[in-house]
Amino acid sequence: MDTTQLLKGVLDLAVLAVLREEDGYGYDILRRLRAAGLEEIGDASVYGTLRRLFAAGYLTTYVVPSEEGPHRKYYALNPAGRSQLKQGREIWRGFASTMDSLLQES
Amino acid sequence: MNEDIARYTAAVTAALSDLPVAQREELLEDLPAHLAEVASEGGSLVDRLGTPTAYAAELRATLAPVPRGHRFTVEPLLARWRPVDRRLGPLFGHERFTDFAVLLRPAWWILRGYFAAFLLAAPLGGGGPQALIPRLGSSLLGGLVLTAGCVLGSLWLGRTTAVNRRRGLRVFGGIATAVTALFGFVYLLNADGNLSGSRPAPAYAEQSSTSNVVLVDAQGHLVTGVRVLDLDTGDWAAVRVYTCDDGGIAAGLLSQDDWSWRYPALAQYCARLRGQNGFPTPDLSATGSPAGSPAPGPSVSPSAGAGPSAGPSASPSPGPSATR
């Protein structure tokens, strides 16, 4: 079992979490996730997740012109996204502590 | 570099060709712009992102699982609508027409509540077919309260279903909307038919029924067995009969102005009768019935379905004292 399998279930939550403090564009979000330790994550996963979260109404977008290079599409959490993040965090904490106690070596 | 992006996008699209068109379009809509961002970081796309096939496989994994059992979807229709949506949008000052339509939703919620009030009041005889405010029984105040309640309820339902995605509530909202829309449409058609004069409403008030009425000819002889033929259809016509009482026209039935305006020929006839010195007294011996009892013979009686055109054509013959 590798982390990619585990990531699938929590990718939404991870993306929402890195957008909590600061809006970001696709590649920047990928960089933040990798910097946070999710190194196996791929660009397509982040792009696809952003599209899906946007379609679900959790994110808003705006375009920022860039001096060197193409325009960048920034994603930001909206209130629905924030409440989704809050809910996801609680579910994750309960799940993680259950798994911790299951896996504890005595 | 743009060629690189186009080639990469095409390859990813091809690898996802089995997806429903709408889903694929939505997923890949932003891909060229995104790849341009990635490309601006330097290096070729394949170096940074791996092969298009691998990229497509990773993308596919991020798709929400498709719920089973939903064979029929509106996705193909939506896919066709989207370009039209975008083209219409600027005409209304928005990116998409849908954005504009969403702004109009509260207005529709109010209209839905308004018609729902008619729908609820209908079993209680809520106002005529062209009432603008429903009646609760015959109470206008009750109707106003009902309308206000329905409008508020509809606004609440609209707000709630817009935010809350609970299935039961949405289904209920959908059914309520469909029924109300159908009812409202029929109601409007009906009211429009009435107001545009295809069926003019009687201009006089219902009067308590008049008894002791007979038909007599100009000499005062009782006329029996009268029937009125509609010359247009060849059928027996339903008839309304108006009176020219001594001195007054159609007392209690129509105001003089209204009446004579509507049926000028009848007005002239009555005026002529008035010019003669009084009316002849009916000779009731013709039927042998006691004076004062309703005449059995004349089939001239108020008839709800009577067209107004039947009135004037019927009236001149009976003479002085017919009534409706």
Alpha-carbon dihedral sign for residues B268, B270, B274, B277: positive
User: Does residue B214 sit in the same domain as residue B114?
Assistant: no
| Segment among B19-23, B50-54, B67-71 with least mean pLDDT | B67-71
Q: Which of B97, B131, B165 is at the close of a domain?
A: B97
Residue B18 and residue B93 share a domain? yes
**Average of per-residue pLDDT across B122-140:** 69
Q: Is residue B281 in a domain?
A: yes
Of residues B76 and B261, more confidently modeled: B76
Nearest to B52 by CA among B82, B21, B83, B8: B8
Residue B203 lies in a domain: no
Mean pLDDT of the B120-125 span: 73
Q: Is B36 on the interface with A (CB under 8 A)?
A: yes
Compute the distance between CA of residue A45 and CA of residue A47 in angstroms, rounded to an integer.
6
Assigned domain for B291 exists = yes
pLDDT in tens, B181-219: 888 888 888 777 766 654 444 444 444 445 445 566 666
- Quote the CA–CA distance of A75 and A54 in Å, as a whole number: 8
Residue B201 lies in a domain: no
* Burial zone of A75 (CB within 10 Å; 0-12 exposed, 13-18 middle, 19+ buried): buried
- In terms of Cβ atoms closer than 10 Å to its own Cβ (0-12, 13-18, 19+), residue B279 is middle
More confident: B107 or B1: B107
In this structure, the answer to whether residues B229 and B275 fall within a common structural domain is yes
What φ, ψ does residue A72 adopt, rounded to 5°?
-115, 135
- Interface touch B40/A68, C-beta < 8 Å: yes
- pLDDT bracket for residue B55 (50, 70, 90): very high
Does B190 share its domain with B234?
no
Q: Are B212 and B148 in contact (CB under 8 A)?
A: no
pLDDT at A48: 92
Q: How far apart are CA B282 and CA A30, in angstroms?
A: 106
Distance from CA of B28 to the nearest CA of A (A): 9
B13 chain-A contacts, CB cut-off 8 A = none
* Environment class of B186 (CB within 10 Å of its CB; exposed 0-12, middle 13-18, buried 19+): exposed
Q: Are residues B47 and B119 in the same domain?
A: no
As beta bridge partners, residue A25 has: A74
C-alpha B164 chain-centroid distance? 30
Q: Do A73 and B30 touch (CB under 8 A)?
A: yes
Using the predicted structure, report yes or no on whether residue A57 has a pLDDT greater than 60. Answer: yes
Smallest Cβ–Cβ distance between A70 and the set B27, B36, B59 belongs to: B36
* Residues in chain A whose Cβ is within 8 Å of chain B: 8, 11, 25-27, 42-45, 47-49, 51-52, 55, 66, 68-73
Q: What is the DSSP-derived secondary structure letter of residue B133?
A: S
Interface contact A70-B30, CB threshold 8 A: no
| Structural domain count of chain A | 1
CA B132/CA B219 separation, integer angstroms = 50
List chain B residues with CB under 8 Å of A7. none
CA distance A71 to chain B (A): 8
What's A76's domain CATH number?
A: 1.10.10.10
pLDDT band at B118 (very low <50, low <70, confident <90, very high): confident
Q: Where a domain ends, among B195, B225, B241?
A: B195
* B63 in A contact zone (CB under 8 Å): yes
Q: What would the pLDDT profile of B163-186 be if each residue is shown by its tens digit?
A: 776 778 778 888 888 888 888 888
Do both B93 and B115 map to the same domain? no
Beta carbons of A45 and B37 less than 8 Å apart: no
Domain limits for position B282: 209-324
* Res B123 pLDDT > 70: yes
Summarize the confidence of residues B281-290 as an average pLDDT.
48
Nearest CA in chain B to A69: B40
Last residue of a domain, one of B62, B79, B97: B97
Which phi and psi angles does A25 have, rounded to 5°? -100, 165
Collapsing DSSP to helix, strand or coil, B115 comes out as: helix
Kindly state whether residues B189 and B111 are assigned to the same domain.
Answer: yes
The answer on B214 and B173 residing in a single domain is no
Question: What pLDDT sits at residue B45?
Answer: 86
Find chain A residues with C-beta within 8 A of B50's C-beta: 42
Domains identified in chain B, total number: 3
**Residue B204 within any structural domain of the chain:** no
From residue B26, alpha-carbon distances to A48, B32, B80, B90 in Å are 10, 13, 13, 21
Using 50, 70 and 90 to split pLDDT, how confident is the model at A93? very high
Q: What is the dihedral of CA B46, B48, B49, B53, to 10 degrees?
A: 20
Residue B167 included in any domain: yes
Same domain, yes or no: B139 and B58: no
The domain of A41 spans: 3-103
CA torsion sign for A34, B62, A58, A47 is positive
Same domain, B122 and B14: no
Q: Do B19 and B27 contact (CB within 8 A), yes or no?
A: yes
Question: In terms of domains, do B61 and B115 share one?
Answer: no
